[in-house]
Each structure stands twice: as structure tokens, then as C-alpha cells.
Amino acid sequence: MEVRARAPGKIILAGEHAVVHGSAAVAAAIDLYTTSSLRLLPEEEDGGAGAVELDLRDSALVFSWPCSRLRGALGELSGKAGAPAPCSPDKLAAIAKLMEGQEIPEAKIWLSAGLSAFLYLYTSILGCRPGKTVVISDLPIGAGLGSSAAFCVSMSGALLTASGAVGTGRGSGAEEWQLFGKDDLELVNQWAFQGEKIIHGKPSGIDNSVSTFGSMIKFKKGELTNLRSRNPVKMLITDTRVGRNTKALVAGVSERASRHPDATASVFNAVNSISEELSSIVELAAEDEIAITSKEDKLAELMEMNQGLLQCMGVSHSSIETVLRTSLKYSLVSKLTGAGGGGCVLTLIPTLLEKVATELESYGFRCFKVEVGGRGLQVCRG
């Protein structure tokens, strides 16, 4: 039997980086997904020994570890259905050794973080049982739309479903994709967070939470509040195609914070106020049953202020500045989303302006028009 789990990417409307230091942030799921499909194999297949295989379709790369090699490196693991334990330094070192001999092209060396997270999740949840996993994603990888979180959430969802640790899923029989119950989602989210830690170093947990639970959320110090939003905000996403790495950017902001603790504390505090105000605008619009678009001027100003503070943190980039300047020509406001340093930029749009997208694409950027605030993790058995 095959289990398929799909998890969405996300945008951060306010609060990235500051959220790692305890400020509030606002994020929403988008309708671009990463899907992990898992098929467990009997031990007898593959000549008796069996292997754990990971097929990364978008990169056209397949990785494989014989189960005997996994047992030799990690010990006899039985798999675990309950809450995860953080990956110990010893296990991390053993996983790093398991990367040896895998042929990762130099230009895609950043995949090794994802492979390590995969091995940790797979062997911790299922032990060293043979199986094949195929991953396909609509998301640009390493561009600020939460590809690492969607990878960890969809993988944890598929593995925990295959292990029987999470339920059969809810949804009408007619639907192909089914939703999980709240307790199951909580468990998947805890595992995905451990995977994110391997990829990111010090994640706040906002990306895996919004990918798991979907919708639009406010997130502060691990606490999640669902924001009811009517007529979700319309955003154009521009991928500058400038590669970057969240782990390095998060570490860079922490270093700046340790050099200038008082100044950065004030910046994080200002970001906290922006996120609080933005989330109350979204909630009030829902309460008054008015479209969020009627509050667009305030949203735009808050996004503009947040972008200025992200520049203070040192995570903007000349490509991001090009998007800001171009959108401003059309009187539109933009801010980076995710970790910055390149990657994606959000532009708040009253109606979709083809002209701005066309001009941005003329610089070699790629524009996405997405639905914001949709579903989180879903599962399908076949």
C-alpha cells in the first residue's frame, strides 16, 4: 500500500527572524505543495536485505541506503510511534557518515541537509525497514516559501501514517485528500519540527506549524493562534532566484544580535508590534464581516515598516531592492518573505496587475499567483 501526504508552503506576512527571538509573526499557507509518497517493502524484496530509498523527482536524484548499513551505523532501531526525542549529537554524526558515498552533485550540495532530516525521520519512526519514498514539490527550494518545512511535514505525515501512529484521516469519501484530526496534526508537527532543526539549526517552529495546520496564523514563542480571515489578502510572490540558505541567515541575525543586543532588542520589539497590529487587523476585518482589502492601506504600511526592519537585521539583498523599486513604480508595497538574502518577495496587490508581473519577469525573476490561507497537511492512501 502507498501512503501519500502533501503539505503546503507558506508566506510570512510579518515577523520573520524576530520570531526566532520571541516576537510575534503572522504566516499563511499557500496552495503550492510538497508531496511525499511512501511504499513499505517486505524484507525479502531486494535480495533479502532491503534498502531505504529516497527519490527526489524534481532534482532527478535517487538516494539509497541498504538496511544493513543503516543498522550498522544507527543500531537496531525499532521505530517510535509517540512524541519525538531531539536528534542526539551522536545520531547526527552517524547520519553525517551515512551521507558518505551518496553522489550529491556539487551544485546541489544543500540537499544534504534535507537528506539528513529524511534519514532521521525515517529511521526514528519506522526503524530500518525497507521502503521507497518519492518526493515531488511545487515549491522553489531554498527561496523563502517554507520548502524545508513542507518537506518535513509531508514526510512526517507519510511516515507516521505508514507506522499506524496517526489515524485514518477525516474527510468525505468523495475526496481524494483527507484531513487529520487535531491530535494527529500535533504529533506530525512535533516530528516535523525536529526535522526542521536538522535543516535550519534554530527554527522558531512557525514554518512547520503553518504547513501542518494551514490557514493564517499568529505565532509567538511556540504558541499558535488561528486567525479567521474573510477574503484573504491578495499577494503576488516574486522569486528573485537568488539562492540562499535559511540556516546561515538565521545565524547571521543572531550574531548581529549578540554584537548589538540593545539595538536589536528594540528592532525585534518593533517587529512584534507590527505583527500584533497586522493580526488584529485581520481578526477585526473578519469580526466586522468586511473584506480585508478595505484595510489594505494599513497592511501596506505595516509591510513597508517590517521590510525596513528586516534591512536593519541585514537580511535584504540587491535583488529584493529591485523588486521593491519596481513595485513602487506601480504604487505597490513589497517586503521579503521567509529568511531573505534573495529568495521570495511579497507584493500586496488590490487586483492582479499583469503589468507589474511582466516587468518583474523581464528581470529574470519568477512570479507566482497563489491562494493564501488554505489547508494544511492532507493524506491519501492508495
Ligand X SMILES: C[C@@](O)(CCO)CC(=O)[O-]
DSSP 140-170: PTTSSS-HHHHHHHHHHHHHHHHHT-S---B
Say which entry of ligand X, ligand ATP, Mg ion, none residue 124 contacts (CB below 5 to 8 A, set by partner kind): none
Q: Which three cell numbers stand for residue 198?
A: 536538522
As a whole number of angstroms, the distance between CA 38 and CA 282 comes to: 38
Of 144 and 373, which CB lies nearer to Mg ion in the complex structure? 144
Q: Would you say 248 or 263 has its CB closer to Mg ion?
A: 248
User: 135 contacts which partner out of Mg ion, ligand ATP, ligand X, none, CB within 5 to 8 A by kind?
Assistant: ligand ATP
- Cα separation of 248 and 342, whole Å? 13
The count of residues interacting with ligand X (CB under 6 A) is 15
C-alpha cell at 345: 518577495
- In the complex with ligand ATP, the residue whose CB is nearer, 246 or 326, is 246
**How far apart, in whole angstroms, are the C-alpha atoms of residue 18 and residue 250?**
10
Which range, of 13-21, 55-63, 229-237, 317-325, touches ligand X by CB under 6 A?
A: 13-21
Q: Which does 313 bind (CB under 5 to 8 A by kind): ligand X, ligand ATP, Mg ion, none?
A: none
Of 147 and 306, the one with the shorter C-beta distance to ligand ATP is: 147
Contact 203, 192 (CB under 8 A): no
Chain length of the chain: 382
C-beta closer to ligand X: residue 118 or 193: 193
**Residue 204 binds which entry of ligand ATP, Mg ion, ligand X, none, with Cβ cut-offs from 5 to 8 Å by kind?**
ligand X
As a whole number of angstroms, the distance between CA 84 and CA 91 comes to 14
Residue (of 85, 190, 65) closest to 129 by Cα position: 65
Q: Is 55 a catalytic residue?
A: no
Question: Under the criterion CB under 6 A, does residue 16 sit at the interface with ligand X?
Answer: yes
Distance CA 215, CA 29 (A): 6
Q: Where are the alpha helices (DSSP H) in the chain?
A: 67-74, 89-98, 111-126, 147-163, 182-200, 206-213, 246-259, 261-287, 296-313, 318-329, 354-362
Q: What is the DSSP letter of 21?
A: G
Asked if 19 is part of the footprint of ligand X (rule: CB under 6 A), the reply reads yes
What residue is closest to ligand ATP based on CB? 114
**Residue type for position 340:** G
In this structure, which amino acid lies at residue 56? L
Contacts of ligand X in 178-217 (CB under 6 A): 200, 203-204, 206-207
Which one from 138, 184, 207, 239 is the annotated catalytic residue? 207
Task: Give yes or no for residue 339 binding ligand X (CB under 6 A).
Answer: yes
Q: Site for Mg ion (CB under 5 A): which residue of 116, 246, 316, 326?
A: 246
**Rounded to whole angstroms, how far apart are CA atoms 183 and 160?**
13
Out of 123, 148, 204, 279, point to the residue binding Mg ion (CB under 5 A).
148
Residue 303 corresponds to which cell in the numbers above? 509591510
Task: Report 80-139 residues binding Mg ion (CB under 5 A).
Answer: none
Segment lying near Mg ion (by CB under 5 A), choices 24-32, 144-152, 176-184, 323-331? 144-152
Footprint on residues 241-260 left by ligand X (CB under 6 A): 246, 250
Interface size with Mg ion, residues (CB under 5 A):
2
Specify whether the CB–CB gap between 38 and 288 falls below 8 A. no
Helix (H, G, I), strand (E, B) or coil at 18: helix
Binding site for ligand ATP (CB under 6 A): 34, 56, 110-111, 113-114, 135, 137, 141-149, 151, 199-200, 207, 245-246, 338-339
Which residues of this protein are in contact with Mg ion, per CB under 5 A? 148, 246
- Applying CB under 6 A, the residues found at the interface with ligand X are 12, 16-17, 19-20, 146, 200, 203-204, 206-207, 246, 250, 338-339
Catalytic residues: 207
